[in-house]
Amino acid sequence: MKEKVTIYDIAKALNVTAATVSRALNNNPKISEATRTLVLETAKKMNYEQNKFALALKSGKSHNVGVVVPFVNRNFFSSIIRGIEEELYPKGYHVIICQTHEDAKKEEETIQNLLNAQVDGILMSVSKHTQNLKHFEKVLKKNTPLVFFDRVKPLKGVSSVTIDDFRGGYEATEHLIKSGYSKIAHVTVDLSLSIYERRFEGYREALKDYDLPYNENYVVKAKSDIDSGEEAIKQLLKLKEAPDAVFSSSDFAALGAIRQLQSLGISVPQDFGVVGFSNEPFTQFMELSMSTVDQAPVEMGKMSAKVFLEQIKDVKVKVEKKVELSPELIVRKSSLK
């Protein structure tokens, strides 16, 4: 196997010291432009590659940022990643993308691996099963900027970028009420997560403000997938007094609800209204387009990156910034009676 070219090989070829080569490769102002050009050209001819990890250890900066999400194949998270990259790449940063698959243990291991890789910061959405926060405390002890987006944990010294989930839940429910529905159910994903809890609170507050009774039987827990949405509607339709509309915290569950209603011959939106949450791409391309709440994921990603860039200026100063973006209700056919 051919050995890697080192700065000592370049120094020998040019009859200069290794220190001179090192300074030239790192743009040290003590080195003349002529020498720097000669060293760079020779390094290129000899196929020299700098050890990025060693440089990171020496300078304290790797120009790599870890981005941790539950799933990369969800449009919401992939759009956030896009926003982060669009903001960080022009600033010279590279993004290391990791996914936890909602596994708290894997999340802990991922955080440790990113710290071992000397990343300059970690931007992440927490796994729904995360309870222990010690791995986040490790990040803070190393003075590595940590920014939560979408899903957060209450941790002092950690910045976050979220949307106003309460407002999103309120406006979705209010829209259904104003459209003429009066028995509105709610399909939630996991009330132990603040994002779903806040959407549920917005739903309850809208019912209260419009003098509609809250029925706990109308609140059903489901996974964020089509099959679970179908099962949720089956459960709701078995009630003695079945609902006439549903606000779902998941577009996928809402899609399952619509499919099940249509299979039973229940007309959407004439007899039953549906509003989802997230504005997944499929919602606008369905034959019966779906009303939903847009979470502005690209903007959330960009803002998360901006918060990180603010913190990287001086990691010793603990900056805790809470950014809350505004959701947007998008009204389509599924809720227009």
Among 73, 279, 245, 256, CA closest to 168: 279
Condensed to tens digits (0 to 9), the pLDDT of residues 189-208 reads: 989 889 999 999 999 999 99
On the question of pLDDT at 69 being above 80, the answer is: yes
Please, are residues 323 and 161 in contact by the beta-carbon 8 Å criterion?
yes
The confidence score (pLDDT) of residue 7 equals 83
The confidence score (pLDDT) of residue 58 equals 54
Among 201, 196, 70, CA closest to 126: 70
How many C-beta neighbours within 10 Å does residue 268 have?
20
CA distance 165 to 169: 6
Contacts of residue 102, defined as CB under 8 A and 6 or more positions apart, other chains included, come to 70, 71, 127, 128, 129
The confidence score (pLDDT) of residue 1 equals 47
The confidence score (pLDDT) of residue 40 equals 87
Q: What is the dihedral of CA 322, 97, 194, 79, to 10 degrees?
A: 80
Condensed to tens digits (0 to 9), the pLDDT of residues 158-182 reads: 999 999 999 999 999 999 999 999 9
Q: What is the dihedral of CA 299, 305, 309, 312, to 10 degrees?
A: 150
The confidence score (pLDDT) of residue 5 equals 82
Rounded to an integer, the average pLDDT of 46-50 is 79
Among 293, 276, 124, CA closest to 187: 276
Segment among 50-54, 134-138, 181-185, 333-337 with least mean pLDDT: 50-54
The confidence score (pLDDT) of residue 39 equals 86
Strands 219-221 and 184-188: parallel
Rounded mean pLDDT of the chain?
92
To 5 degrees, how large is the angle CA 69–CA 75–CA 76?
Answer: 60
Q: Radius of gyration (Cα) for the chain, nearest Å?
A: 26
Q: Per 3-state DSSP, what percentage of the chain is helix, strand, and coil (rounded to 5)? A: 45, 15, 40
> Two tokens at 204?
């309850």
Rounded to an integer, the average pLDDT of 263-271 is 97
Q: What residue ranges define each of the domains in the chain, with the CATH number in brackets?
A: 7-50 (1.10.260.40), 60-162+297-325 (3.40.50.2300), 165-295+330-335 (3.40.50.2300)
Binned at pLDDT 50, 70 and 90, residue 68 comes out as very high
On the question of pLDDT at 272 being above 50, the answer is: yes
Please, are residues 159 and 311 in contact by the beta-carbon 8 Å criterion?
yes
On the question of pLDDT at 31 being above 90, the answer is: no
On the question of pLDDT at 2 being above 60, the answer is: no
Helix H or strand E encompassing 131: none
Q: Tokens 């896009």 label which residue?
A: 82
The confidence score (pLDDT) of residue 316 equals 64
Share of the chain above pLDDT 90, in %: 72
Please, are residues 254 and 248 in contact by the beta-carbon 8 Å criterion?
yes
Segment among 14-23, 119-128, 142-151, 175-184 with least mean pLDDT: 14-23
Please, are residues 329 and 293 in contact by the beta-carbon 8 Å criterion?
yes
Binned at pLDDT 50, 70 and 90, residue 246 comes out as very high
Give one DSSP letter per residue of 178-200, joined into a string: HTT--SEEEEES-TTSHHHHHHH
Rounded to an integer, the average pLDDT of 276-303 is 96
To 5 degrees, how large is the angle CA 22–CA 26–CA 27?
Answer: 120
Among 200, 188, 185, 273, CA closest to 236: 185
The confidence score (pLDDT) of residue 192 equals 87
Give the number of residues written for the chain. 337
The confidence score (pLDDT) of residue 214 equals 97
Share of the chain above pLDDT 70, in %: 95
The confidence score (pLDDT) of residue 197 equals 96
Backbone angles phi, psi at 141, to 5 degrees: -65, -30
Helix H or strand E encompassing 274: strand 273-275
Condensed to tens digits (0 to 9), the pLDDT of residues 291-334 reads: 999 999 999 999 999 999 998 886 666 678 999 999 999 999 99
